[in-house]
Amino acid sequence: MSDRRERKERVRTRKTVLKLAVVVTLIILAGSLVYLTGRNLITAYRDHQRDTVLAQYGAIEEKLQGQGLVLRNETVFNAPATGFFENMVSDGGKVRINALLGYYITRGEKHSLHASSSGLFTRQIDGLEGVLQNVTLSATGPETFSFRIQHHDPGAEFKTGQGVYKIVDNLEPTRLILQFPEQKTNPEFKKDQSASLSVDGTMLSDCTVIDFKNDFHKLVVMVETVDFREELLNKRQVNAELTLKSPSGYLIPEKSVINRGQEKGIYCVDGEEIIFIAVQVLAVKNGMAVVEGLEPNDMVIIKPDKVKL
């Protein structure tokens, strides 16, 4: 009886161990299945997030950096003879026509000088007043940007024909000729196009493109500010940055736009559905597109080739 009982006990023990092993194995398999399912769900969610982007309203900006020449409508008084100028108006001061500006002293004689026009008075003569007066873009070449500015001490003696002072018309908007290195992909310019202008690191204001050309491997642009820029009164050669903006619309990756028949459009996620929305492409630059036809918070699919309807 003792041997039989021991055998039964051993059989019962083996069965218990086997059951336990089976239970442990099932638990491990269930845990692995949960883990893999969760990981796949997370991966799928991340892939979904990676394949969509929220359309945001804005515009594409393109910045051009180069040289600039400040243009002005200015009248220069040239010395009639060797002599000195004794000014009665501070530099940058506003003067009216026929206002007393000062006296020109030559050969011991003192001659009063009066303003020939209204505007801003300045003694800062750079010698480029003549060559840049009424200049047109068609007449602008590489030599225009190589002119050297001439400096003269306003308190020193003037020679015959040398510029003594000038009056600048401050009622006309300021114009600048800008020169940029030729771009690999030249921006699309249009006359009367609006842009933002920065000079010597200072943002001026919006400006308007008057004319443009590609010449001698340079991009040359003439712009006009909204009004006269007094801070440029005594500046001629400047460092300029022109910022061009595309029409405003919704910014999306260019690759999300597809052709379907005669129209362009994109796929958007709408709840659990995928819908096609026709759009009009306003501008494309560096892999981004500006479109109209979307609504705020539209979720755009950026890999339309993977869409299966």
Architecture of domain 74-171: Beta Barrel (2.40)
At 48 the pLDDT is 47
Nearest to 250, CA basis, from 205, 294, 186, 185: 294
CATH 2.40.420.20 fits 52-56+249-306, yes or no: yes
Cβ–Cβ under 8 Å, residues 274 and 285: no
Q: How many CB atoms lie within 10 A of CB 25?
A: 10
The CB-side HSE value for 226 (13 A sphere, CA atoms) comes to 7
Token pair for residue 240?
A: 């300029």
pLDDT number for residue 309: 61
Is the predicted pLDDT of residue 270 greater than 90, yes or no?
A: no
More confident: 50 or 10: 10
pLDDT above 90 for 111:
yes
Q: Would you place residue 4 in the very low, low, confident or very high pLDDT band (cuts 50, 70, 90)? A: low
Determine contact, residues 29/252, Cβ cutoff 8 Å.
Answer: no
C-beta separation of 166 from 75 below 8 A:
yes
pLDDT at 212: 93
Which residues on adjacent β-strands are paired with residue 211? Answer: 222
Tell whether the model's pLDDT for residue 66 goes beyond 90.
yes
Predicted local confidence at residue 50, as pLDDT: 45
| Mean pLDDT along residues 263-267 | 92
Res. 163 pLDDT band, cuts 50 70 90: very high
Q: Is the pLDDT of residue 190 over 70?
A: yes
- Report yes or no: 123 and 88 within 8 Å, Cβ to Cβ: no
pLDDT, tens digit, for every residue of 114-149? Answer: 999 999 999 999 999 999 998 999 989 889 999 999
Tell me the per-residue pLDDT of 204-227, one tens digit each, with 9 for 90 and over. 889 999 999 988 889 999 999 999
Burial class (CB in 10 A: 0-12, 13-18, 19+), 248: middle
Q: What is the pLDDT of residues 78-108, one digit of tens each?
A: 999 999 999 999 999 999 999 999 999 999 8
Q: Is the pLDDT at 46 greater than 50, yes or no? A: no
Average pLDDT in the chain? 87
d(CA 59, CA 54): 15
Is residue 268 within 8 A of residue 226, CB to CB? The reply is no
- Cα angle value 252/256/257 (rounded, 5°): 95
What confidence score (pLDDT) does residue 241 get? 96
The answer, yes or no, to whether residue 34 has pLDDT greater than 60, is: no
Pick from 68-72, 204-208, 259-263 the range whose average pLDDT is largest. Answer: 68-72
